[in-house]
Amino acid sequence: MSIEVKVPQLPESVADATLVAWHKKPGDVVRREENLVDLETDKVVLEVPAPADGVLKQIIAADGAVVTSGQLLALLEPGAVSAAAAAATSSVASAAPAAKPAAAGRPSAPAAESAVAPAAKSGPGANRMGPAVRKLVDEHDIDPAAIAGSGREGRITKGDVLEYLADHQASTVGLEHEVLPGAGVSDSEPQARGPLRNEQRVPMTRLRARIAERLLQAQQQAAMLTTFNEVDMTAVMALRQRYQDPFTAKHGVKLGFMGFFVKASVEALRQFPVVNASIDGSDIVYHEYFDIGVAVSTERGLVVPVLRNAEFAGVAEIERSIRDFGERARKGGLRMEELTGGTFTITNGGIFGSLMSTPILNPPQSGILGMHKIQQRPVVVDGKIEARPMMYLALTYDHRMVDGREAVQFLVHIKDLIEDPSRLLLEV
């Protein structure tokens, strides 16, 4: 009796998903928990594992289909792994002698190559890639089996593909220079000159479309205003340098700046609870907990995993959580519940070199903190000009519920806590 492979239950906030790509075709042997297909929602990419050992009998929903919770995707014939594997082995063995005569003649070589190439793309390496990585592999016509995966369980990351391309760039360039002169163009034929003006049209991913929708929603529905300040990072940087080695040795994670800013944000939100609130119709909802979203940039777009109950987390736990979020976000491994909710958001454009920006609210939140690049600048300290590591801070807030006075004081409070980190311990 066939086993039905269905779309897993989607959260209430997600109506449907797009079927990105099948990793197996009808007749392929599959193992229990082996990824069969990728489903892309507007938040994450979901993997649908095989419910049992067997053979993929029939694919019901094709690539690109929009599917909903519980919808039938495919039929699986259970308990046929051994027989199918044996049949595949015997077919390969019987085909091997037949291939020898063909190898003796040159004309059959291209046919052999064309028969092998598609199989390479669906080989063992194909199941170790996310949709974005698979697209990059297809664009450059790379055999996934030739790439060593550095991700979890040997998954191939974008960095692995780029490294592979860099390693093989020299040989590729040499091949191009060797082939182009004899490409069937006679000396008498005119050669095309000038820059190439190619275009490529690709549909938005579900995530990118969702990001665009929410940003437009924020612009249209919130009265956004941004206030700025600057913070002297001397004290935090000295503290970080002093305790970096013992902190790393004890907690297994480096001491960064985000832990300090999350703790400072929580304390500032305690003092100014309206910045931690949201509007629901004609009501203002004051959240008595602190779920801090931390923006993470991935090759698919920006995602904001949420650090739940940040008020109870120490600096080490915050740093570990953020590192884990970043690693899993780039591999498409974040869970849906980790991307929903949040009462306040922190984004760090400084890691990309941004000196100043105006972040956009993450609805229905009323505030978002923007961190920026640390830069040595001359400042006046005790009547003397000194070079200090300075960072611009930006707070974008919803002016419908947050007044300018509260927004400015909120940002000043964060500045004071960062410039004197001992206040975080004393909660003053």
Active-site residues: which are they? 399, 403
Cα dihedral across residues 108, 110, 111, 116: positive or negative:
positive
Phi/psi zone of residue 309: left (φ > 0), alpha (ψ -120 to 50 degrees), beta? left
Q: What is the 3-state secondary structure (H, E, C) of 143-154?
A: CHHHCCCCCHHH
- Both tokens of 205, joined, read 């991913």
Helix axes 258-271, 404-419, angle to 10 degrees: 140
Residue with tokens 């004071």: 416
Q: Give the DSSP H/E element, type plus range, for residue 227.
A: strand 224-232
- Distances, alpha carbon 175 to alpha carbons 111, 136, 171, 181, in Å: 21, 21, 6, 11
Residue 173, SS3 per DSSP: helix
Whether residue 364 is preceded by a cis peptide bond, meaning omega within 30 degrees of 0, is yes
- Report, in this order, helix, strand and coil percent for the chain, each rounded to 5: 45, 25, 35
The neighbouring-strand residues paired with 280 are: 283
Cα 361 vs. chain centroid, distance in angstroms?
20
> How many angstroms separate the CA atoms of 1 and 22, rounded?
22
Q: Which 8-state DSSP code applies to residue 351?
A: G
- H-state helical runs in 180-233: 206-221
> How many angstroms separate the CA atoms of 224 and 222, rounded?
6
* Residue 421, burial from CB neighbour count under 10 angstroms (0-12, 13-18, 19+): middle
| Nearest CA among 290, 239, 288, 228 for reference residue 262 | 290
> How many angstroms separate the CA atoms of 301 and 299, rounded?
6
